Structure 1
Amino acid sequence: MESTAPFTAWVDYFTRNGVRQERIEATVDWNAPCTLPPDARAAIARSLQRFELGESGEGTHLLGLAERAGDPAYVDAVRLLIAEEQRHSALFGRGLRHLMAPSLPGHWTDRSFTLLRRSLGLDTEIALFLVAETVALDWFEALAASPDPVLAGIGRRIVADEREHIRFQIDRLHLDLRRRSAVARLGIAVVWSTVAVGAATVLVVGHAEAMRACGSRPAAVWTRGLHTFARSARTVLTGPVGRVLGPSVVRPDLVGPLPRIDTVVR
């Protein structure tokens, strides 16, 4: 890695971000009753159950890979990132209680994703995380527009974090993959794009009813998710060598309105 400075900035961002998270959560009336019709409630509950599982991991495998990469600042940033993802799982659990739905003990999509990423190295694991986060971002945007205020608050919280998580993954992958040959990067792009299309399709098929309950068309979520992935992959693979994005919100403990979705990748 050319410099630890990008990840020092990320450690500072993650350390301060708790203030913004608390500010967003304070706008939610967690005691408000759920007024969604039963079919919409059930559809969204099924979706949150799967996301609660996906965000609940301890991250020990990823952390071990990060430690072997030899950058202490990156290790600290990954540790803080994992803590944020675990808080997302807790938020989805809170949403399930709001919907009066149980948590799931397991799901094949979570088991498959976990098995795949744990069989690979750091760059490939991060690349898979970037796929998952980019293709799901628009669904979280839809949740933030839910007619139910508690679910909308959860969506706002998740979106605020995931925008920055995408930038963080881009920074790591760019510093590593941009130094590969043009032929190698072309091969990576082909395989990566194929995986992204598959992931977006699995997401839309599995969560279509919930998307409709939040007023979004599954096809639009699929298209926008892949567009966000494509912009992210392009930044990773074709940006100037050594260029990093860094957090878009340098002081999350001080900023006011949340950044728009188009600030994810500039």
Structure 2
Amino acid sequence: MSSQVESGNWSDGFRTRAVQRTEGSDPPWSDGSRLDPAIVRSLQKFQVGESGDGAHLIANAAATGDRDYEAAARLFVAEEQNHARMLRILADEHHHVPFQIRRLRLGFRDTPAAARIAIKQIWRAMAAAVIVVVALDHGRAMRVCGVSRREFVTATMRIFDDSATSVFSRADTSDRH
């Protein structure tokens, strides 16, 4: 069975959210707001990361030959760029993680079990390093929000572990959520 059939219509969800974004109004920017300086610095760093052009991701998606996946990757990048502009993040992120899990599960479905275990452990080490750097770099903003660095690291590693387990499971790779 081809990956095009198994991948489903991933771009549909991204298109729906793109229409919802155009139908919604922007926040009342002129009202202003007061944010703790630590939050402002953290958001500024976040915006830099979200505003990239996604060329590498799109090229890799195109290389799979799955046109719907390529379209979904382009729409995913557009959503991320919109996050940088709007900072309306959480609702969209609930869709991004399952989208990536399904695609990665497809990509690793034929990988031998020993290699899957090794890759998962390498990813976990890399994720832990990145999560610690984020906790150190954004710790003041986290404290302002009432979250300790330890709580952030623990919760984020739990999310990573759950996601990695889903990626490397032998579950049905044709799910289309």
- Tell me the TM-score normalized by structure 2: 0.90
Instruction: Report the equivalent of 1:31.
Output: 30
Deviation at 1:32, TM superposition (A): 2.9
Higher relative contact order (CA 8 A, sep 6+): 2
Instruction: Report the equivalent of 1:200.
Output: 131
Q: Distance in 2 between matches of 1:59 and 1:35?
A: 32
2:162 corresponds to 1:167: no
2:157 corresponds to 1:226: yes
Instruction: Report the equivalent of 1:69.
Output: 64
Residue type at the aligned position of 2:49 = G
Instruction: Report the equivalent of 1:53.
Output: 48
Deviation at 1:46, TM superposition (A): 1.2
Residue type at the aligned position of 2:128 = V
In structure 2, list runs of 5 or more residues that go unmatched. Answer: none
Instruction: Report the equivalent of 2:10.
Output: 10
C-alpha RMSD of the superposition: 2.0
Identity of aligned residues (%): 37
| Residues 47 and 210 in structure 1, CA contact (< 8 A), matched pair in contact too | yes
| Residues 178 and 241 in structure 1, CA contact (< 8 A), matched pair in contact too | no
Residue type at the aligned position of 1:31 = S
In structure 1, list runs of 5 or more residues that go unmatched. Answer: 92-153, 248-266
Instruction: Report the equivalent of 2:147.
Output: 216
Q: Distance in 1 between matches of 2:59 and 2:141?
A: 35
Distance 1:55 1:241, change over 3 A: same
Q: Deviations over 1:220-253 (max 9, x none)?
A: 1111111111000000101424243x34xxxxxx
Residue type at the aligned position of 2:30 = N
Residue type at the aligned position of 2:39 = I
Write the mapping of 1:101-112 to structure 2, written as runs, cut at 5 A.
none
Deviation at 1:35, TM superposition (A): 3.3
Q: Distance in 2 between matches of 1:189 and 1:57?
A: 27
| Residues 175 and 241 in structure 1, CA contact (< 8 A), matched pair in contact too | no
Poorly superposed stretches of 4+, deviation over 6 Å = none
Q: Distance in 1 between matches of 2:26 and 2:148?
A: 27
Distance 1:78 1:222, change over 3 A: same
- Tell me the TM-score normalized by structure 1: 0.61
Instruction: Report the equivalent of 1:190.
Output: 121
Distance 1:52 1:27, change over 3 A: closer
- Equivalences, count: 177
Instruction: Report the equivalent of 2:79.
Output: 84
Q: Distance in 2 between matches of 1:8 and 1:164?
A: 15
